């Protein structure tokens, strides 16, 4: 079962073009949607989650017409938005039980089994009696994954899941996503390049509502292989290098800017060939260097 997105367009009333002729084919497994804030990722997520309508285009999940048969899609959809509210003073087990009831699981013993399995899967079982509103950011995100898995969905949409998480919680989140992504489609929207590299074999890069790249992560790396050079420079020298070279990115390392430069030919002494990274692909695409 593939998710097929064809020629999807969305313009808001203020004139902002959020989606510009977006076309993607997404198969089972983890698919990373990478882009800066304002790229159109969340607009695409909300459209796929049937929370807003598109102006034109088609979306199908297997034989489900996503844009015109929203109820059928919602039965097989799990959704974890950037932010979600919880009822105060309601425990994790109680809230999951309530959400399962809303999803149509009327049998109490069946709901209890579902809730316990999800709490175990997300490493929250020991905290099942604790109020979700008191959870840390990482625990709330794991709870969000648990609620998104109610009903064995075929498609799970996860929007900016690891922003603000400490390294330990991020790793726990990675492990959960990797496990559940073996059998279903998980669409992971993020601006964190590491998320995509760690989790996904397929990816797309978006900016200004357009898809700039779609394909295998290894294929993406081939776009810059042997073409990115790096060098440490003085801060005072940075403007000169920015004028004279196609700078992909720069970051401070040991108090000095480390610049990555795109060049298909060898550069002069002082530059060394850098190991290609998805971050280089990301910034090179955004800066229209490739």
Q: Which domain holds residue 249?
A: 224-286
Nearest residue to 217 (alpha-carbon basis) of 18, 33, 67, 7: 33
Asked whether residue 29 falls in the same domain as residue 160, the answer is yes
For the stretch 225-260, what's the b/e string if a residue is b when 16 or more beta carbons lie within 10 angstroms of its beta carbon? eebbbbbeeeeeeeeebeeebbbbbbeeeeebbebb
Residue 146 sits at the vertex; the CA angle it makes with 141 and 152, to the nearest 5 degrees, is 140
Q: Within a domain: residue 85?
A: no
pLDDT over 80 at 147, yes or no = yes
> Do 34 and 141 belong together in one domain?
no
Q: What is the value of pTM for the model shown?
A: 0.87
CB distance 282 to 221 below 8 Å: no
Q: Greater confidence, 229 or 103?
A: 229
Tokens at 255, concatenated: 């108090």
DSSP letter for each residue of 76-93: TEEEE-S-----TT-BHH
User: To the nearest whole percent, how much of the chain has pLDDT over 90?
Assistant: 75
**Rg from Cα positions in the chain:** 21
CA 215 → CA 33, 201, 248, distances in Å? 11, 9, 21
In a domain, 255, yes or no: yes
C-alpha of 115 from chain center? 25
State both tokens at 66.
């996503």
Q: Look at residue 257 and tell me whether its pLDDT is greater than 80.
A: yes
Lowest mean pLDDT among 80-94, 122-136, 143-157: 80-94
- Residue 83 domain flag: no
- Residue 84 belongs to some domain of the structure: no
Can you give the pLDDT at residue 116?
96
pLDDT band (50, 70, 90) for residue 271: very high
Do 261 and 215 belong to one domain?
A: no
Distance of alpha carbon 162 from alpha carbon 154, whole angstroms: 22
Pair 34, 178 in one domain: yes
Q: What dihedral do alpha carbons 124, 126, 132, 136 form, nearest 10°? A: -70
Quote the CA–CA distance of 10 and 194 in Å, as a whole number.
28
Residues 6+ apart with CB under 8 A from 1: 28, 61, 62, 154, 185
């Amino acid at each position: 079962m593939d998710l097929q997105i064809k020629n999807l367009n969305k313009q808001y009333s203020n004139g902002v073009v959020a989606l510009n002729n977006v076309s993607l084919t997404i198969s089972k497994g983890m698919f990373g949607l990478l882009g800066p804030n304002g790229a159109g990722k969340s607009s695409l997520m909300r459209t796929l989650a049937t929370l807003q309508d598109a102006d034109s285009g088609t979306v199908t999940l297997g034989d489900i017409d996503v844009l015109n048969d929203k109820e059928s899609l919602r039965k097989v959809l799990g959704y974890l938005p950037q932010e979600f509210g919880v009822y105060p003073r309601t425990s994790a087990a109680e809230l999951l039980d309530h959400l399962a009831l809303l999803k149509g699981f009327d049998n109490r013993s069946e709901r209890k089994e579902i809730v316990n399995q999800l709490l175990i899967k997300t490493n929250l079982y020991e905290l099942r009696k604790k109020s979700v509103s008191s959870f840390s950011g990482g625990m709330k995100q794991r709870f969000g994954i648990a609620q998104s898995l109610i009903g064995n969905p075929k498609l799970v949409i996860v929007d900016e899941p690891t922003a603000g998480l400490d390294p330990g919680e991020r790793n726990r989140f990675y492990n959960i996503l990797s496990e559940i992504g073996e059998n279903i489609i998980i669409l992971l929207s993020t601006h964190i390049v590491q998320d995509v590299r760690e989790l996904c074999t397929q990816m797309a890069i978006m900016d200004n509502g357009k898809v700039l790249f779609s394909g295998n992560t290894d294929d993406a790396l081939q776009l810059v292989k042997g073409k990115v050079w790096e060098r440490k420079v003085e801060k005072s020298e940075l403007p000169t290098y920015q004028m004279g070279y196609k700078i992909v990115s720069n970051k401070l390392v040991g108090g000095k800017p480390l610049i990555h430069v795109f060049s298909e030919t060898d550069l002069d002494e002082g530059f060394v060939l850098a190991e290609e990274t998805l971050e280089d692909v990301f910034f090179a695409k955004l800066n229209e260097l490739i």
